[in-house]
Structures are given as C-alpha cells and as structure tokens.
Amino acid sequence: MSITFAELPLRKETIEALHQHGFTAPFAIQEMVLPIALADGDVIGQAKTGTGKTLAFGLPVIERVIAPNDPEWAGLEAKGAPQVLIVVPTRELCVQVTKDIEELSLNRGIRTLAVYGGRAFEPQIEALESGVEIVVGTPGRLLDLYRQGKLKLSKVTRVVLDEADEMLDLGFLPDVEKLFSSTPARTQTMLFSATMPGDIIALARRFMNQPVHIRTQDSQDEGRVVARIEQHVFRAHALDKIEMLARILQADGRGATIVFCRTKRTAQKTADDLIERGFRAASIHGDLGQSAREKALNDFKSGKRDVLIATDVAARGIDVDGITHVINYQCPEDEKTYVHRIGRTARAGADGIAVTFVDWDELARWKMIDMALELGLPEPLETYSSSAHFFEALHIPSDSSGRMVPAAKVETSAPKSDKPARKSAPATKDPVAKAPREKAARVRTRTKRIAE
C-alpha cells in the first residue's frame, strides 16, 4: 500500500504546502527516493519523463534549507549565501523547476532564484546580493556568474543535476564538472536522468559518495514509451502535412496540443500557417527572444493558446497538465528524442495521443526508431488529409476542413503608389512623334533621302 506525504518525515509547513497544491501521496519515483534523500544519502534517480522527479529532489532540499523564518537562522554563519544548487539543461526547465520549488517553500520564506541566459545579468546579480537559499540555473549562466564572483558556491551543501543525459547531449558536461568542483561544502548530491550513458555514470562515480541507484522501470523497459500513450504513425507528403495537422486539431476531445518540429524555420512557419487558419497557436524556438518564449509558454499554460509549436528545446522543459495530443510534425532524430517528445502527454497518470508524420525521405530514420523501441510500426501507411482511415483513427469529424476561418481574399489589383502618376504624351497617329524631337527629325530626314 502506498504511503502518503503526511507519513514521511517532512516539516509541517511542507506537508501543508503539498496539500494546498493537491499532492497527498507520492508517485513511484518519489516514494522510492524520498526516504533515502531525506536521510542525506546520495541518489541516482532513473525514471521515464513525466513521473514526478522534481518533487523527488525538491522536497529533500527544501527540508534541509535553513530559511529566514526558521529558528536556526540566527546562528547561520553566512546568511543569504546559496545553500542549494540545482542544475538543469534548458531555460524552460529552469523556470518550471523554480516555480515548483517556490510553491512548496514560500510559506517558510525560502528565496529561490532562476538563473539562465537570454535575460539581463543585473536583476539576477541583485537577487544574489540580496540573498537566496536555492539557485536553479542552466550551466552557462551559472558559470558566468560564478566567474564574475557574483555567485558564491562555497556554502552550497546540496547539489542536484536534473536531466543529466540532456546535459550530455548539449555538451554541458564539462561545465557541470566545474560547478561540482566549486562546491567544497557539498554533503549531498542527487542526479536524475531518463537514461544512463557511460559518461553520466563516470560523472556520478567522480562526484557522488556511494549513491543509491533507483529506477522505476525494469531493465528491459528502459527507454520505452509510456504504455498509456496511443500512438499513430502516418507516411505523409510534405505539402499535405499542414492540412493533416489542421484536421487533427479539430478531432473530438482534442485539448492542449504540442507540435514538434526539427527546425526553427519549420516551427515558425507552421505556427504562422495555423494562426492564419484561425487556430490559437504559438511558437517556441531558439530564434525567439527569451521574453517571447516565456510569453508563448505562459499563454499555453493559461489556455490562452491551445497549440504550441516547438523545437526540441521544449521537449524536456514543459510540464503542463492536460496535454491530450503530441504531434511530431517532423520525424524525430532518434528514439530518445521520440520518447521525450511524446512524454509531454500522458503525464501524472493521464492518457494521451501521439501522432507522427513520416515523409518519404524520413522512412529510414523512422525504421530505426521503430526497431529500437519495438513499436511494430515499421511501414507507416500512406496517408493524406482526405484519407478515410486518418479521420477514423483520430476521431476527426467528417466535415472538418483545414480552416477555422475563411481564407483571406487575395488582392488582385496592382498596389497604389504614393507617387503621382506620370503624364503621358498626347496620342498621335504619327509614330515618330513619340520619339524625342532630335531623333524624330533624323528619322524624317532619312526617310526623305530614301524616297528620293
């Protein structure tokens, strides 16, 4: 029988905050990690995406922080110096983790700061100078602030590395090692990852003290897709994909939807096309400024926009409840990317639908993904936006079209110029009269001589 949060050795304030946000019992990864982490043990947590890893490491660090409202604050040597460092691979995940930590710790006065690129240094430096207990950040900006002497790590006792395999993929591992080496007072290290490549294991051996390896999936299920996700794969023509996507967005029961593209250009074009067709779409990719990315994500979370078109930069940083559909507009690069993409749905025990479009030149890549994950879908059925099986499989009403609003009328007349029209010469029967005077005279003379 599963335990409840109230049965764990947590502070009264933490339990109250959990209940206030609707958390009463831990998920599997939390139930297995918390007893060890709360006893200050080093932990390697391995679990599928969307299984609640943030609380698994968030609760133990919140419990060990000495906050301004705590009785122990008066005897703290370095008040305001960071006590916890949480390292994440992407800006979006940084914002999400910070939000989750704040929700459960504000009632104790714990100050949490999100540190990431794309934002001005000054507000982050001001917050650090004012004092924070927990710093959540991306490796690049953390190192920048550390080298400037603005981020003090000498008093950090707890370090968490979240989505370690993504750090490896993005080339952040050397930066992470530097951050780890800069925390001499570290007494607890927790590392969380969906997969465990050799470089991650080597990192754990170097910086962790007899860690307990906890996994919520058996060895033969590692990297498999979430079983609750209903998966559909269609061989689609590039020029017809937008029509197919528009019809999926009109399917019965369709809620918040994420559409993944491989390139920034395709993501923006797809978003523009959907908006022109009347859908409440937004995009998030690397060419957008941080403010635009945050606005798009906030609009999606609030329901102002119900379709988010994203590159893989968002594949791990989005934790939004109620996502019913994930659509791979472009086939993912590999099976790991596929798993993380579709893992944005069917979170926290819910069901979800994943749809993948495979173009003709992507068939070889898809077959590799299918083989690695043993999906049994090596030959996607050739499908068009008018195919009957497409409507039936995804519960799309038969009268659905590719638009929510009529297409804008195309202006056929020539655009009006701001410049005044040039006055044309008066019409005349003599074609020579249209030429300049000197040229006209020469033409007449030449004509006369020929006649003679």
pLDDT digits (tens, 9 = 90+) for 214-238: 987 544 443 444 567 899 999 999 9
The residue length of the chain stands at 452
pLDDT of 222:
38
Mean pLDDT of 183-187: 94
Q: Quick one: which of 72, 63, 66 has its CA closest to 132?
A: 66
pLDDT of 444:
54
- Residue 286 CA to residue 452 CA, distance in Å, equals 79
Mean pLDDT of 344-365: 86
Residue 423: pLDDT band by 50, 70, 90 thresholds?
A: low
- Residue 183 CA to residue 293 CA, distance in Å, equals 32
pLDDT of 90:
87
Residue 39, pLDDT > 90, answer: yes
Residue 157: pLDDT band by 50, 70, 90 thresholds?
A: very high
- Residue 256 CA to residue 52 CA, distance in Å, equals 20
Residue 322: pLDDT band by 50, 70, 90 thresholds?
A: confident
Q: Which of 83-87, 271-275, 304-308, 442-446 has the lowest mean pLDDT?
A: 442-446
Q: Which residues sit opposite 129 in a β-bridge? A: none
DSSP per position, 399-425: T--S-SSPPPPPP-SPPPPSSPPPPPP
- pLDDT, one tens digit per residue, over 250-284 is 999 999 999 999 999 999 999 999 999 999 999 99
The domains of the chain are located at 5-221, 229-393
Residue 76: pLDDT band by 50, 70, 90 thresholds?
A: confident
Mean pLDDT of 18-44: 92
Mean pLDDT of 118-131: 94
H or E stretch including 13? helix 12-20
Contact predicate 110/63, CB 8 Å: no
- Residue 332 CA to residue 189 CA, distance in Å, equals 32
Burial of 403 (0-12, 13-18, 19+ CB in 10 A): middle
- Residue 139 CA to residue 152 CA, distance in Å, equals 15
Collapse the DSSP code of 25 into the 3-class scheme (helix H, G, I; strand E, B; otherwise coil) and give the result: coil
Distances (CA, A) of 91 to 12, 44, 223: 32, 23, 24
Distances (CA, A) of 335 to 224, 262, 280, 367, 374: 9, 14, 30, 10, 10
Q: What is the pTM of this model?
A: 0.72
Q: 229-393 in CATH: which number? A: 3.40.50.300
DSSP per position, 312-358: GGGTTT---TTEEEEEESS--SSHHHHHHHHTTSS-TT--EEEEEEE
Q: Which residues sit opposite 213 in a β-bridge? A: 44
Across the chain, mean pLDDT equals 86
Percent of the chain with pLDDT over 70: 84
According to DSSP, the β-strands at 84-87 and 158-161 are parallel
Burial of 294 (0-12, 13-18, 19+ CB in 10 A): middle
Q: Which two tokens stand for residue 286?
A: 């690397």
Give whichever of 232-246, 304-318, 350-364, 399-413 has the largest mean pLDDT.
232-246
Residue 77, pLDDT > 90, answer: no
First to last CA, the chain: 121
Percent of the chain with pLDDT over 90: 57
Residue 364, pLDDT > 70, answer: yes
pLDDT of 306:
95
- More confidently predicted of 20 and 169: 20
pLDDT of 49:
63
Q: Which residues sit opposite 309 in a β-bridge? A: 259, 283
pLDDT of 346:
75
Helices 121-130 and 139-147 pack at an angle, to 10 degrees, of 70
Contact predicate 393/353, CB 8 Å: no
pLDDT of 223:
41
pLDDT of 299:
92
Amino acid letter, 343: G
Q: 5-221 in CATH: which number? A: 3.40.50.300
CA angle 397, 403, 406 (to 5 degrees): 130
With a CB cutoff of 8 Å and minimum separation 6, the contacts of 313 are 90, 92, 284, 285, 286
Instruction: State how far Cα 356 lies from the chain centre.
Output: 18
Mean pLDDT of 205-217: 88
